[in-house]
């Protein structure tokens, strides 16, 4: 890793990636005209949902830039396509057709992204307008606003694909990663400025907790349970081949958190328009929702935790099929030592997956409510350990490092063959 710039091909990829990152940061700081940026930022500070939305837009939302929607619509479209692959056999078969299938699925994802972006663009305007953050727009101006936001999202998807093809790492994930770390210097400055002699010890606890969280994220993200599988092989010595089936502790990644926050924030989103309604009953409902579904309330975070655990089990069941794996192992003449092939293997794999998923689900749940835990026990709200962002950062860093190492090994191998 110390000599990555010695290789011309790898150096070009890294420099290209850096150039795309610079373009992305310029886009994220190019605000739309006619919008009070100060009002938008003030509103974001008290809204956890839009704070997470800003996370996936790389800071573009708080600047209300041309990439305000960020990659959120594309991520939602990707999740929809993954779920549809389970329900529609033709899509499932298409996904198995190698590069051709992946290209077609990627094309379908982009096609779904366009209407989702249009819908979310109008939804953002509607919500901010009801909160008096954005004034009423004429129909023509509204159309221009929606089309500009849609074009910004599709532009990010395009440059993300460019990074994936010509740069280093997964382009979409890398753009989200850059947006997260781009906000770190300002947050760190605010945290250090808030430290005094009275809360210095809390600051030390916070730093130790942050380090522990990073270690925990790496361990859970990389942790696997290896299932021994033996294959009989006929030959002179009739030898057996032993392989391993790795089952990740966290197979769902950050997707359950995205699902859960989309559900748990619905009452909070509705509370704003309801409180501004002319009907007194609707105002009381809006006030009730705002009071009891605040991101700082125990009830909200308890519900958030439960939803993350539930969605983790759901998404893992969608992604991992014990029946299919047991059938594949049986067809190839393999077996798990001590377990009969077929239904017994399926039941064994289900039991293993349920146990390790429980650990991964609880971990994701704690990561999701980590800001609430830190603020409650440490008492520092200036810089919280953003669990969701931290999970994304660690995953992207590990993925990028693995790809760089793979490129270096491939280059050395090609040079050796020459």
The model's confidence at residue 403, banded by pLDDT at 50, 70 and 90, is confident
As a whole number of angstroms, the distance between CA 57 and CA 70 comes to 4
The pLDDT assigned to 365 comes to 87
Decide: 308 and 364 in contact? Cβ < 8 Å.
yes
C-alpha distances out from residue 400 to 163, 365, 376, 396, Å: 12, 26, 35, 6
pTM: 0.76
CB 154 within 8 A of CB 31: no
| Residue 159 confidence (pLDDT) | 92
Residue 231 gets which letter from DSSP? E
Is residue 291 within 8 A of residue 280, CB to CB? The reply is no
The confidence band for 239, taking pLDDT boundaries of 50, 70 and 90, is low
pLDDT for the residue 387 = 65
Q: Alpha-carbon distance 4 to 378, whole Å?
A: 41
Higher-confidence position of 250 and 356:
356
Task: Report how far residue 387's alpha carbon sits from residue 367's, in angstroms, rounded to the nearest whole number.
Answer: 5
- Identify whether the C-beta of residue 368 lies closer than 8 Å to the C-beta of residue 388: yes
CA-to-CA separations, 339 to 4, 26, 225, 347, in angstroms, rounded:
46, 57, 17, 10
Q: What is the dihedral of CA 300, 182, 35, 268, to 10 degrees?
A: 0
- Asked if residues 368 and 295 have their Cβ atoms less than 8 Å apart, the reply is no
Provide CB contacts within 8 A for 263, sequence distance 6+.
307
Where do we find the tokens 């011309």?
Answer: 8
Contacts of 17 (CB under 8 A, 6+ apart): 163, 167, 168, 169, 174
**pLDDT value at residue 19:** 92
Mean pLDDT of 172-200: 73
357/379: higher pLDDT:
357
Task: Output the pLDDT for position 322.
Answer: 86
Map residue 354 onto helix, strand or coil.
Answer: helix
Contact 261, 284 (CB under 8 A): no
Q: What is the overall mean pLDDT for the chain?
A: 79
Compare 196 and 405 and report the one with higher pLDDT: 405
334-335/240-248 β-pairing: unpaired
Q: How many residues does the chain have?
A: 418
Pairwise pLDDT comparison (238 vs 199), residue with the higher score: 199
Q: Report pLDDT digits (tens) over 59-103.
A: 566 677 888 888 888 888 888 887 788 788 888 788 777 778 888
Rounded Cα–Cα distance for residues 288 and 257 (Å): 25
User: Which domains, and CATH codes, for the chain?
Assistant: 1-182 (1.10.3370.10)
- Quickly tell me which residue has 């092989």 as its tokens: 233
Dist. CA 391–CA 394, nearest whole Å = 5
Of 33-47, 304-318, 328-342, which gets the smallest average pLDDT? 33-47
Mean pLDDT over 195-218 rounds to: 75
Going by C-beta distance under 8 Å and a sequence separation of 6 or more, which residues neighbour residue 326? 341, 342, 343, 345, 346, 349
What is the average pLDDT across 348-364? 90
């Amino acid at each position: 890793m110390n000599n990555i710039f010695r290789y011309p091909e790898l150096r070009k990829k890294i420099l290209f990636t850096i150039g795309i990152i610079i373009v992305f940061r310029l886009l994220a700081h190019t605000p739309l005209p006619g919008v009070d940026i100060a009002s938008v930022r003030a509103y974001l500070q008290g809204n956890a949902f839009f704070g997470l939305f800003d996370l996936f837009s790389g800071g573009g939302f708080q600047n209300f830039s041309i990439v305000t929607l960020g990659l959120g619509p594309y991520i939602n479209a990707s999740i929809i396509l993954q779920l549809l692959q389970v329900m529609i056999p033709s899509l499932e078969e298409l996904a198995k057709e190698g590069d051709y299938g992946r290209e077609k699925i990627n094309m379908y994802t982009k096609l779904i992204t366009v209407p989702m972006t249009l819908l979310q663009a109008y939804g953002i305007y509607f919500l901010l307008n009801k909160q008096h953050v954005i004034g009423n727009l004429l129909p023509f101006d509204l159309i221009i606003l929606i089309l500009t936001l849609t074009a910004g999202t599709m532009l990010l998807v395009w440059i993300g694909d460019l990074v994936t093809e010509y740069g280093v790492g997964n382009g979409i994930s890398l753009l989200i990663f850059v947006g997260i770390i781009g906000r770190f210097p300002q947050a760190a400055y605010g945290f250090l400025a808030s430290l005094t002699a009275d809360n210095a010890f809390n600051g030390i606890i916070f730093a130790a907790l942050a380090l522990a969280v990073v270690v925990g994220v790496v361990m859970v993200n990389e942790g696997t349970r290896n299932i021994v599988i033996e294959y009989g092989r006929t030959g002179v010595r009739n030898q057996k081949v032993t392989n391993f089936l790795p089952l990740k502790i966290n197979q769902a990644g950050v997707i359950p958190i995205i699902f859960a926050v989309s559900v748990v924030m619905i009452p909070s989103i509705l509370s704003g328009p309801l409180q501004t309604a002319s009907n007194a009953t609707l105002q009381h409902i809006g006030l009730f929702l705002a009071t009891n579904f605040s991101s700082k309330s125990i009830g909200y975070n308890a519900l958030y935790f439960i939803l993350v655990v539930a969605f983790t089990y759901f998404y893992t069941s969608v992604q991992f099929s014990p029946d299919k794996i047991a059938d594949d192992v049986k067809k190839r003449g393999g077996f798990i030592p001590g377990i009969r092939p077929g239904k017994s293997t399926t039941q064994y794999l289900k039991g293993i997956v349920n146990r390790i998923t429980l650990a991964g689900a609880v971990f994701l749940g704690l990561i999701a409510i980590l800001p609430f835990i830190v603020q409650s026990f440490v008492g520092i709200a200036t810089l919280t350990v953003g669990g969701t962002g931290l999970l994304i950062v660690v995953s992207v860093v590990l993925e990028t490092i693995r790809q760089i190492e793979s490129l270096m090994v491939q280059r050395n191998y090609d040079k050796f063959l020459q």
